[in-house]
Amino acid sequence: MSLLLRLVATVALALPLAACAGAPAEEVGDAQVFVPDAAPDDGTPTGRSACDLVVAGIEAFNRGELVETVARFEKAVPLAEAEDEAAGTQASADLLEAVEYYAELPADEYLAASAGSPDFARYQAITLGLCGSGEPQVPGQPDDEGGVQA
């Protein structure tokens, strides 16, 4: 398993994934990510945030379900757009950019991109930072359990 896949799997399994669910506005690290009062009328489940679908996409990726990964990120795009429009912050713009990248990445290119694409790595840090731990994961830095991040 590649180093990147281990990192994603570890982060997805080890972190409380409720960081992005619940309130209309949530603090994530130093940033505040807003959840719109009403979901866009596009068939996306009501009451879900972009981070909910990002986490679902990460979980699908960890299971090797790449088509499902893309589908989750595609569904997250309108929510991330609404959240960015409501918040207007750099964090919300970054999350929207990352969600769009993963939604547009063909399923058959995910593994190659995860192994060596600088864009994949940059957007991974954004999605994990805003929707996972609240802190971007930096390879080689100590983690919360006293170990070193992969």
Q: Please give the pLDDT value at position 6.
A: 45
pLDDT tier for residue 31 given thresholds of 50, 70 and 90: low
Model pLDDT for residues 60-119, shown as the tens digit of each residue: 999 999 999 999 999 999 999 999 999 999 999 999 999 999 999 999 999 999 999 999
pLDDT tier for residue 48 given thresholds of 50, 70 and 90: confident
Asked if the model's pLDDT at residue 50 lies above 60, the reply is yes
Handedness of CA 97, 99, 103, 106 (dihedral sign): positive
User: Given 3-state DSSP classes, what are the helix, strand and coil percentages for the chain, each rounded to the nearest 5?
Assistant: 60, 5, 35
For residue 55, give the nearest of 129, 113, 110, 109 by alpha carbon.
129
Q: What average pLDDT does the chain have?
A: 73
Q: Please give the pLDDT value at position 61.
A: 93
Residue 118 region, left (φ>0) first, then alpha (ψ -120 to 50), else beta? alpha
Q: Please give the pLDDT value at position 85.
A: 95
Q: Please give the pLDDT value at position 21.
A: 42
pLDDT tier for residue 18 given thresholds of 50, 70 and 90: very low
Q: Show me where the domains of the chain are located.
A: 3-15+47-131
pLDDT tier for residue 146 given thresholds of 50, 70 and 90: very low
Bridge partners for 142 per DSSP: 148
